[in-house]
């Protein structure tokens, strides 16, 4: 390891010490965490390098047992980002029998898989309820797309907030360093990327999805009491 990289790691370790200091103020913790995040992403450093470890470096793939609409991928992509993984789907984005999977390190996959499974089941139940009581004039398929888009944005917002405020318990603590470089590199080399566009949208669908996404509790798979 070259001297410059060692200096960066020492700087990160000092910042992490501040972030974990019980005597540090909320502002000091947030600023230190932000700087750690920025440095680790910039220099592609993960916690295994910080600890001098080389084990558990293999990128693995896991597939969810449950299938659902491809629009779930938008939501799972947000979840994966916050839990140090990358996600993919097989099938058509507007189909209802898509398969979803994750790439990541073993420890991260163990955490994200049950959370993702519960989230997809929650979205499926919501979708059934919405379809049964749908009252708007716009085609339900457009409403559904907008709902999932809004839910993804809402979930991203609440997870970012939880990270800054350190409100997620230890088991589900959102990593501050993002997706490890080894996972990003593996994903980019092995997954074919397909862009999906949404031309027609429903404002009502997006707003409802955004609200539900902001209220979703990844710890207990229910709704947070947010005023």
Specify the pLDDT at position 45. Answer: 78
Supply the angle between the helices 140-165 and 203-215 in degrees, to the nearest 10.
30
Average pLDDT over residues 13-22: 83
Instruction: Tally the residues of the chain.
Output: 227
Angle between helix 140-165 and helix 26-42 axes, rounded to 10 deg? 110
Distances (CA, A) of 174 to 42, 92, 168, 219: 19, 30, 7, 12
Q: So what's the pLDDT on residue 171?
A: 47
Say how far apart CA 67 and CA 49 lie, in whole Å: 36
Q: Is the pLDDT of residue 207 over 80?
A: yes
Question: Is a pLDDT exceeding 80 seen at residue 138?
Answer: yes
Distance CA(216)–CA(226), nearest Å, equals: 10
pLDDT of residue 74: 96
Question: What spatial distance separates the first Cα and last Cα of the chain, rounded to whole Å?
Answer: 50
Determine the pLDDT at residue 213: 96
Output the pLDDT for position 193.
Answer: 66
SS3 201: coil
What percent of the chain has a predicted confidence (pLDDT) above 70?
81
Closest alpha carbon to 114 in 224, 219, 209: 219
Mean pLDDT throughout 190-208? 77
Lowest-confidence region among 44-53, 80-89, 150-159, 184-193:
44-53
Paired with 98 in beta bridges are: 68
Among the listed ranges 66-75, 185-194, 214-223, which one has the minimum average pLDDT value? 214-223
Radius of gyration of the chain, Cα coordinates, nearest whole angstrom: 19
Q: Tell me how far apart the alpha carbons of residues 165 and 121 are, in angstroms, rounded to a whole number.
A: 28
């Amino acid at each position: 390891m070259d001297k410059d990289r060692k200096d960066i790691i020492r700087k990160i370790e000092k910042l992490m010490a501040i972030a974990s200091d019980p005597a540090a103020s909320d502002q000091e913790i947030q600023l230190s965490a932000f700087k750690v995040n920025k440095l680790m992403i910039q220099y592609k450093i993960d916690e295994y390098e910080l600890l001098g470890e080389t084990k558990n470096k293999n990128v693995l793939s896991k597939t969810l047992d449950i299938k659902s609409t491809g629009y779930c991928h938008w939501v799972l992509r947000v979840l994966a980002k916050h839990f140090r993984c990358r996600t993919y789907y097989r099938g058509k984005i507007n189909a209802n029998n898509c398969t979803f999977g994750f790439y990541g390190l073993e420890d991260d996959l163990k955490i994200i898989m049950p959370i993702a499974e519960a989230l997809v089941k929650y979205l499926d139940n919501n979708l059934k309820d919405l379809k049964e009581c749908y009252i708007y004039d716009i085609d339900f398929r457009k409403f559904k797309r907008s709902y999932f888009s809004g839910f993804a944005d809402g979930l991203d917002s609440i997870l970012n907030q939880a990270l800054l405020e350190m409100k997620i318990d230890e088991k589900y603590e959102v990593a501050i360093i993002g997706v490890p470089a080894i996972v990003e590199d593996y994903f980019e080399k092995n997954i074919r990327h397909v862009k999906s566009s949404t031309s027609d949208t429903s404002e009502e669908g997006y707003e409802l999805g955004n609200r539900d996404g902001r209220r979703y509790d990844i710890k207990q798979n229910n709704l947070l009491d947010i005023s």
